[in-house]
Amino acid sequence: MKFYKIIFFNTMIFGTLMTISAMSWFTMWMGLEINLLSIIPLMKSNKNLFPSEASIKYFITQTMASTIILLAIIMNLNIEEFIPQNSQLFSNMMMNSGLMTKMGAAPFHYWFPEVMEGLNWNTCLIMLIWQKIAPMIILMYNLNMTIFLSMIIIISALISGTIGLNQISLRKIMTYSSINHIGWMIGSMLQSTSIWMIYFITYSVISINIILIFKTYSIFSIKQIFNVLNHEKSMKFLFILNFLSLGGIPPFLGFLPKWFTINYLIENNFYFLSAILIVLTLITLYFYIRVTFSTILIYSSENIKYKQTQLSFSTMTFNFLSLSGLAICTFLMNF
């Protein structure tokens, strides 16, 4: 790794930590800007497919979102002096819209698949996980618009399912999957910070697992999965289990946070929202199952000479956490 990348990686982490620990709105905004300016050089790498295009698209979108957030902060600070009281609702909506654009929630998501398509798997992992932390934690301070957030949750689940069906690029499939999970995370955030934390950690572990497999074999499209993983039976098995876990199918860890979220939504009388979320997530689950079933059944072939490859320690550790997580959590919670 080059020296400048280490510096920018550290300042990116510093920017996020500055945002989530800020004592004022202005410091929070500064943290977001430090984070943005640090990730642009990380995107501008020769290993990426379209480095310039991805970094410019990301920069323009995030700058626009930051401007909206800053304007909302100024309006909130001066609300009593210059602006009528009822327009506080408008400034809160501006703030939330800016944050949704930053994290890539639908219908503010149009930049997200396009930027992801131009990046390598390392940068994709940062985009899918780390870049969501700061906007989501700020959103927790501004959760006073339940109807607006419910609309965002439903649109995220609907768009991620319907558009994700049509994709063959794995980076775009992971992006639309992420948009679906953003909807679930905002739903969990409406009820409890700790459930959001459980959801985010679970999603991070499963995404790291899947992207480690994609990165190891340089897989970028569905067709490549069928060709490459035929020779790697153990890795194919782990990939399928992790993909089903990402979809939230019960025996796996991915089911646990969805279970908590549905439970709390129903306890707080969000019956319609929870029903819509479950039904629309079934569309997303369809394209997960399409990939896994095609990999294991339709495009499967056996080699006469079977060579077993040694799995790395990090791959085994993350897969153990992901695949045995639900059993461990169930066991611990009985005491």
Q: Taking residues 42-71, what's their average pLDDT?
A: 89
Q: Per residue in 278-290, pLDDT tens?
A: 999 999 999 888 8
| Distance from the Cα of residue 57 to its chain's centroid | 19
Measured CA to CA, the distance from residue 229 to residue 250 in angstroms comes to 25
Contacts of 285 (CB under 8 A, 6+ apart): 247, 248, 249
3 state DSSP class of 6:
helix
Structure confidence at residue 34 (pLDDT):
95
In whole angstroms, what is the distance from residue 12 CA to residue 9 CA? Answer: 5
Query: Which pLDDT belongs to residue 21?
Result: 93
Residue 266 identity: I
Q: What's residue 309's pLDDT?
A: 61
- DSSP for 107-132 reads TS-THHHHHHHTS-HHHHHIIIIIHH
Report residue 162: phi and psi, to 5°: -70, -40
pLDDT of residue 304: 57
Express each pLDDT in 214-228 by its tens digit. 988 888 988 888 777
Residue 220 tokens, joined: 């970028």
3-state SS, residue 200: helix
pLDDT reported for residue 86 = 61
What's the domain count of the chain? 1
Three-class DSSP labels, 222-287: HHHHHHHHHHCHHHHHHHHHHHHHHHCCCCCCCHHHHHHHHHHHHHCCCHHHHHHHHHHHHHHHHH
Q: Which domain holds residue 250?
A: 3-333
**Residue-wise pLDDT tens digits, 89-126:** 888 899 999 999 999 998 999 999 999 999 999 999 99
- What's the whole-number mean pLDDT along residues 319-328? 74
Section 178-188 average pLDDT: 95
Cα gap 39→277, rounded to integer Å: 32
* Mean pLDDT to the nearest integer, 155-175: 92
Q: How far is CA 317 from the centre of its chain?
A: 21
Given this model, what pLDDT does residue 305 score?
A: 58
Question: Tens digit of pLDDT for each residue in 34-50?
Answer: 999 999 998 887 777 78
pLDDT band at 67 (very low <50, low <70, confident <90, very high): very high
Share of the chain above pLDDT 70, in %: 92
